[in-house]
Amino acid sequence: MTVITPDGRTAPPPRPACAAQALRQAGLRVETDLRNEKIGYKVREHALQKIPLQIVLGGREASNRTLTLRRHGSNDTQTLALEAAVETLLAAARPPRHSDDHGRKTR
């Protein structure tokens, strides 16, 4: 996943580095894209690279202490508080539970 900011601006808390650090501390792999490019260019570029999740952190998100999640292959976005976003992403990153030959859950 990649944390991106519009126009390369750094926003007030949670700044991109703080948001990325919170996700890393939770055990998730995160990169940041702070280049001075338009948001549409960054979204398109990361979509072509098939990055599974883009996290947008602009001025609105920074002032509300939220993150906007954009999943690869979908135009829909989801805006969550930083803590809720970490919990949601951790839940999505867990491997599915498998059942053994007798229908019992394993792991």
Which pLDDT does position 13 carry in this prediction?
A: 47
Task: Grade residue 29 by pLDDT with cuts at 50, 70 and 90.
Answer: very high
Task: Grade residue 34 by pLDDT with cuts at 50, 70 and 90.
Answer: confident
Whether the per-residue pLDDT at 14 is higher than 80: the answer is: no
Q: What angle do CA 30, 2, 20 make, to 5 degrees?
A: 45
Q: Cα dist. 4→18, 44, 67, 102, 105 in Å?
A: 13, 12, 10, 46, 39
pTM, two decimal places: 0.73
Whether the per-residue pLDDT at 58 is higher than 80: the answer is: yes
Q: At 96, which amino acid appears?
A: P
In the numeric block, the tokens 């390369």 are attached to: 8
Which pLDDT does position 84 carry in this prediction?
A: 92
1 contacts 54 by C-beta, under 8 angstroms: yes
Residues 67-74, mean pLDDT to the nearest whole number: 90
Which pLDDT does position 102 carry in this prediction?
A: 61
